Amino acid sequence: MTLSQKSLISIFKNMSHPYGRGSYPRSGRSGYSNYEQHRDRDGYGGNTGEHSGYEEFQGRGRGKGRGHPPGLKGREIGLYYRDKAKKQNSHRDSHRDYLDINLNANTEEDIRLMLRRIERSKQNEDSNYTNEKNGDLKDKYTHINDSHFKRKFLEIVSGNIQQNLAKSMLLESKLERNNSLNQEYLEEFKIKQRSAEYKTMLKFREKLPSFQKRQEILDLVRDNQVIVISGETGCGKTTQIAQFILDDEIEKGNASITKIICTQPRRISAISVAERVAAERAENLGNSVGFQIRLEKVPARDSGSILFCTTGLMLQFMQSDPALRNYSHIILDEIHERNTDSDFIITLLKQIIPKRPDLKIILMSATLNSDQFSKYYNNCPNIHIPGFTYPVQEFFLEDVLQITRFEFPEIGPALTGYRKYIKKHKKERQKFDDFCDFIEPYVRHLESEKKYSDFVLKQLRNPRSEELSLDLVEILTKHICTSKPPGAILIFLPGIMDISKLHKIMVTSGKYPPGNYIIYPLHSRMPTVDQKIIFQKPPSGVRKIIIATSIAETSITIEDVVYVIDCGKMKLTNFDLENNILTLEPEWVSLANAKQRKGRAGRVQSGTCYHLYSKARELTFDQYPLPEMLRTRLEEVILQAKILQLGKIQSFLAGVIDPPDPKAVELSLDLLRKLEALDSDENLTPLGYHLAQLPLDPRTGKMIIWGALFSCVTPVFAIAASLTFKDAFYCPLGKEDEAREKKLKLGLDQYSDHVALAEALRRFEQGQKWRGSNSYCREYFLSGNTLKLLSDMKRQFALHLSEMKFLDSGDPNDQRSNRNSNNLALVKAIVCAGLYPNIARTKSSGHHHHHHKTARNHSVKIWTPEDGPVKLHPSSINDKGGPFPSPYMTYFTKQRSTAIFLHDTTCISPIALLLSAPINSINEEKGYCVITVSNFLKFKCQPGSADIIQKLRKKLDFLLEYKIAHPGTVRWDHSEGAVLSAIIELITEADEEMGLKCRDIMTKKEHRKKN
């Protein structure tokens, strides 16, 4: 049962333009001539149908010579007009944010009939389902029919970690002593030791510093439950420790009860370390060595083996096996990086250790902050393995200035001008004062030493010497090239923009002819220019220059680097608690980072490291970077903790090595309550339970559940995968405009980055069928590797949701899951439902040239209620777009760098917003209704229209809640299908109307331009 196409199409015929605040007299289509006339009177154009007050005054004045009551004199007249203007303004302001939605009377009647029919049929279906939610947990969910889901859900929300561990201890472990297996593995090991391949590898291994400490490490593991091993880069701890333990256990006849799991912070390191270890053991992956990362695995045998995996995956294992019964040794590597997952595991292991006295924990850290971890585990023993690198000579900014004679630009009209400027700007003044406080004593000390010229000292006193100068980097690079022996140069810069600029400076300068130099930009967002080339030694007489971000600090090692230029800054994501926003700004590195960067120059021979900051600045550096848990949002951590039944989150997180700020925890709890993933008592809701099962940020998790229910799987899963992992677009240097045009094409005129992400993957998958995917990727500047991973992730989501019973099949392309996948209006509404409350409001200025090359996003005004004016990120389709068909935009993240930028945006219609965001209230005012979603999202309509919207919204909420609590696919031939069909039609019509209006503006603009 669906509404007639005709009546649904008429619903939006009378809907005024979404920018308007009132119902204009119609002129042509949609009253746009009025919109054009009134648009600049306030933020969003249009008037309220009343005189503006000013005109009224003008009119009266002309007719009678005065517009005020008789008898007023002088100041009284002024006050009369002031009060009158105030009154009119407040009346206007009270309507400022209302957008009109007018449904036509016939359509309202059609929907009412359908709703009545549904009501009658619903009395027979699910009559026992009432969403009463009071009393304790068991009573709260009596309305959910008994099912496997209900039992599992109640078990999770009412259980706790201690009960869970006790239950887990009763389960059978895969590690059972088996003497014949022990014998078999021992024989195999002895045969291997005699092979030439193994002996060659052993010779190499014996040279590693960790090999000298083998017996000492084994003794510590035998005598203690937890140990900490710290080791410098290159000491061999990552590849050797697990092998020492495995070989020792095999020789002792314990292979059948030994299974070692070794975590790595990155996918790439889990695979490469596993491959390396298998090669050292003269065998293929899949025997005694395996790896498992998301979407990819080569498992090792069940016992007598080592499994390398990511920290995120280890947390997933702990969900199904809380006491880790199937493992004998846990090795956590690279814990000094302090990522959220490894901090979480370290805290969780504290609860498991008492229950599993036979479980051995080995924590491995690259730098010497191992005392902190040792203290956390009741002062467990720690052992240090020295590294092996060649000596590296260090130079600081003062030395570099002495060598290059580089001069920083003066500030303002000399320093006095700067002092005037900073008097007005508090933040700048603070920065300037701090700089003077620490630089002056240092410069005076250098003066007394007489080591540096007056020129150098003058430059050090200039506050600009603390800013990144790409000109200085280039001059220093040229100095190394012309005066130093052969060797690759590695330059560390904060971000992709700096890399692009420096690359451009060097390529266009003509000083680096391609025959003598190869310059490689290296950044995670750049195409993997067949990355193997970066690692290869260039031909004789050619110098290799790599310009990289901190990715080259630890993740990858370029062996032939001899010179390092370290700008001393890195971009770090931080969470600004005061303003509830993520920031991505260049910050000074920590001493640990600086040490890693310096170490890159001494891998194959003695090297040189140039730091572009003064020795005095280095003294202000922190010892280590801030743990990730202290600088990110915590929603995923909280859901993870809830599934693991860790109780109240504040008390669990208070036990972490470095507990996050309670305010950060509260902000994340607040968002989870808004998403309806947690109830007011901080318990998981049925939706929260599903979201916690998915390997996704909770907002994208909600998106894919809606995608499954609305039978719109392929595009929505593609968007969720891209937002969770990374999008496949890259931007080659020098081809930015071309790449932008291609991305715009994939956006299908929908004003949506999300649609472009879905379309990019759809065409790739189609191209794979016809073997045309490679040329497609080249043409559209897309990474084929990333698209392949995204395609795999879509399959993974489909498997998850079919296991959860939301889909009939684990195939994301199954027709039953995609009956509405071609409906882009619906796709955008589902994205909005997942990302709410991330909504911004837009206005395009009248003189905009659509997609003109010189257009910049200053012609698009955009703001959020929390931040005021914000900007669209330059990588967004909408950055130079406009005019926009609707004043509303949803976005995935908001990040502050040089400004506050919105990333991954989509323009959405008011109706899509009303049907995907929770309605707060509907109030009657002077014969019409105001629907309030939030303080800055208010809609005005006739009472009949409000009634229809409210009823449909209620039906949708009821249906969603029912489906979440009784997982199953939607029955499209039943009443639930009728409700969703009506909603889809409403959303589609609103979107089409939006498109027509936008094309209308465009035509008028083109016409005006021609004339």
Torsion of CA 51, 53, 59, 61, to 10 degrees: 170
Closest residue by Cα to residue 997 from 985, 986, 989? 989
Question: For residue range 100-148, what is the model confidence (pLDDT) as tens digits?
Answer: 776 656 666 777 787 787 777 655 444 444 444 444 666 677 777 777 7
Judge if 179-385 and 392-406+469-626 fold alike in CATH terms: yes
Q: Is the pLDDT of residue 802 over 80?
A: yes
Determine the pLDDT at residue 968: 85
Cβ 291 vs Cβ 309: under 8 Å = yes
User: Average pLDDT for residues 170-187, to the nearest whole number?
Assistant: 90
Cβ 590 vs Cβ 598: under 8 Å = no
Residues in CB range of 26: below 8 A, 6 or more apart: none
Question: For residue range 242-272, what is the model confidence (pLDDT) as tens digits?
Answer: 999 999 999 999 999 999 999 998 777 788 8
Cα(727)–Cα(335) distance, integer angstroms: 28
Determine the pLDDT at residue 167: 82
β-strand 289-293 against 296-298: which pairing, if any?
antiparallel
Question: For residue range 319-346, what is the model confidence (pLDDT) as tens digits?
Answer: 888 899 999 999 999 888 888 899 999 9
All structural domains of the chain with their residue ranges? 17-100, 179-385, 392-406+469-626, 636-678, 689-1003
Buried b (16+ CB within 10 A) or exposed e, 474-500: bebbeebbeeeeebbbbbbbbbbebbb
Q: 549 — alpha (psi -120 to 50), left (phi > 0) or beta?
A: beta
β-strand 488-492 against 921-925: which pairing, if any?
unpaired
CA 309 to chain centre: 22
Cα(164)–Cα(181) distance, integer angstroms: 31
Residues in CB range of 410: below 8 A, 6 or more apart: 462, 464
**Element (DSSP H or E) covering residue 933:** strand 928-934
Q: Is the pLDDT of residue 58 over 50?
A: no
Residue with the bigger pLDDT between 106 and 757: it is 757
DSSP letter for each residue of 392-456: EEEE-HHHHHHHH---PPPPSSHHHHHHHHHHH-HHHHHHHHHHHHHHHHHHHHHHHHT-S-HHH
Cα(593)–Cα(613) distance, integer angstroms: 14
User: So what CATH class is 179-385?
Assistant: alpha beta
Cβ 16 vs Cβ 100: under 8 Å = yes
β-strand 392-395 against 937-941: which pairing, if any?
unpaired
Cβ 767 vs Cβ 776: under 8 Å = yes
Which CATH architecture group holds 392-406+469-626? 3-Layer(aba) Sandwich (3.40)
Mean residue pLDDT of the chain comes to 80
Cα(808)–Cα(399) distance, integer angstroms: 68
Give the neighbor-by-neighbor strand order of the sheet with 98-100: 98-100, 937-941, 928-934, 921-925
Question: For residue range 577-634, what is the model confidence (pLDDT) as tens digits?
Answer: 776 777 777 889 999 889 889 988 887 789 999 999 999 999 999 888 889 899 888 9
Q: Position 849: which residue type?
A: H
Q: 291 — alpha (psi -120 to 50), left (phi > 0) or beta?
A: beta
Question: Residue 253 burial (CB < 10 Å; 0-12/13-18/19+)?
Answer: middle
**Counts of helices then strands in the chain (DSSP H, E):** 40, 25
Cα(235)–Cα(255) distance, integer angstroms: 27
Strand-pair partners of 894: 902
pLDDT class of 91 with cuts at 50, 70, 90: very low
Closest residue by Cα to residue 956 from 925, 1002, 915, 900? 915
Closest residue by Cα to residue 769 from 813, 720, 820? 813
- Residue 476: phi, psi to the nearest 5? -65, -40
Cα(596)–Cα(600) distance, integer angstroms: 7
Cα(673)–Cα(669) distance, integer angstroms: 6
Question: For residue range 299-319, what is the model confidence (pLDDT) as tens digits?
Answer: 999 999 999 999 989 988 888
Question: For residue range 834-873, what is the model confidence (pLDDT) as tens digits?
Answer: 988 888 988 754 333 344 333 344 456 888 888 888 888 8
Residues in CB range of 444: below 8 A, 6 or more apart: none
Cβ 80 vs Cβ 72: under 8 Å = yes
Residue with the bigger pLDDT between 464 and 44: it is 464
Length of the chain: 1011
Closest residue by Cα to residue 654 from 347, 419, 870? 347
Neighbours of 902 (CB within 10 A): 25
Cα(504)–Cα(528) distance, integer angstroms: 19
CA 699 to chain centre: 11
Buried b (16+ CB within 10 A) or exposed e, 750-786: bbbbbbbbbbbbebbbebbeeeebeebbeebbbbbeb
Which of helix, strand or coil describes residue 908? strand
Closest residue by Cα to residue 298 from 321, 333, 263, 274? 274
Distance (Å) of CA 861 to CA 43, 835, 911, 959: 9, 21, 22, 38
Structure tokens at 101: 């939605």
* Beta strands, E only, 759-867: 839-844, 860-864
